[in-house]
Chain A
């Protein structure tokens, strides 16, 4: 088994929250290409892991496999092992899709509480926390708006807020800020790095963030997994110092061949 060592200095509680081994995913029925090829990874509590790689290399598929959301057309091979922390009989995971996935018929407030409601969290406590997060996410005053009345950046922040509010230990974020203009994106990133997502849960959580933006990865993550493909393989794991690391950035660009 080839897992990549975590950076222990960020390892607040120690526990492994997700571990995949020999994860091979292909199209059901054996036709078509292999999408993930023998991927191994492990994510520990307290870690912020970024996954970078070229478009189509299988990043979203990897995240979906961890969330238990492989589409019916895809299937993991027999030898694949993927263990994810569970709580209350469900995966202790909150997944944020590449598109924001807000329910158009619910107001911002109700959309935000969706995760907490599904997880069966105490409503009053969640609402207190939601009010606090609306403030922190810069969404205060937008509680009663419909999703279509929010800007692209606000929609992404709302989707992220919903994911955080589910209070799961493992957050799986699929390009939370893709499709935003460079300026907004940069603002989102510096804001996200101040937010300390890993510290938001009371129970020791971890974040896996998919992106194809190396700067975003270096800025936010403790560790960056580099993928190549298709077929998707993890080719390296680069530790970074939080808040910008020129050396790690150069290494990543080199690995990605840019």
Chain B
């Protein structure tokens, strides 16, 4: 019981208190300094804006969520497959390695204008941008997990009469899954942001479009509504990836399986 109460205090009570305190200070400061709403609206005004836009917002959220999820899946699959190819065919790996490193030096959002130029104004360029953002961390961590497979385990397989193929299937591939999922967890935090940046440039729907329109109307309260929606969506995705990670690695001791940050995020999502 005590442990449960302690957990509730730490995970629910304390965070909620600090958020409420921040909102109160914000509200009080805006009123005391009499700030104009187009500079910084009070939280109460932001809440009103959220209610006002409640009928258009879901469509924008749905668009951005679809882009983020599709991109996440596409990038994860592509990253894992290429990692497998590189490890299975070391020569391909040697040839691709510098290219991959080179492309890593370009932040993917920088490519957004190019993708829009090539793939039009619809969903596709945004999905591609998210996929590119996800691809690299997944590829890099899956590759290194397979390469740096525990030599003790490789030796065990060989010591029982296994060949390189057995080592691959029994030791390296499970390592690829754990590596890919770890990369996915890193990537998940960027996905919604990448989709929104692409939407800033072009598009008819999405949180990026919503924020851009609000900016043109000087509706700072609506911009903040959009920002909060982006934050919540990101938390949702990170939480979902955390669940996937747990499902993909059921063998891990619980405490060590999710780092503190994502555990908090998942526990705060209703």
Contact = CB atoms under 8 A, between A and B. Distances in A.
Whether chains A and B associate is yes
Contacts, number: 67
B171 interface: yes
Given A99-B152, A101-B152, A103-B170, A118 B157 contact: yes
A163 B155 CA distance: 13
Nearest to A67: B159
A105 B160 contact: no
A109 interface: no
Given A101-B152, A106-B251, A119 B170 contact: no
- Interface range, A side: 20 to 34
Contact of A93 (B161, B171, B249, B252): B161
Contacts of B252: 104, 148
Contact of A69 (B153, B159, B170): B159
Contacts of B155: 69, 95, 97, 101
A95 B155 CA distance: 9
A90 B159 CA distance: 10
Most buried by A among B159, B166, B251, B252: B159
Interface of B: 151-153, 155-162, 166, 170-171, 174, 178, 249-253
A118 B160 contact: yes
A101 B158 CA distance: 12
B173 to A, nearest CB: 10
Enumerate the 5 nearest inter-chain pairs by beta-carbon distance, A residue then B residue, closest first: A95-B159, A101-B156, A115-B160, A90-B161, A118-B162
Given A103-B153, A104-B251, A105-B249, A97 B159 contact: yes
Contacts of A104: 251-252
Contacts of B161: 90-91, 93-94, 115, 118-119, 166, 168
Contacts of A114: 156-157, 160, 170
Given A101-B152, A101-B153, A105-B174, A93 B253 contact: no
A91 B170 CA distance: 19
A68 interface: yes
B158 A69 contact: yes
Contacts of A69: 155, 158-159
Given A101-B153, A103-B171, A94 B253 contact: no
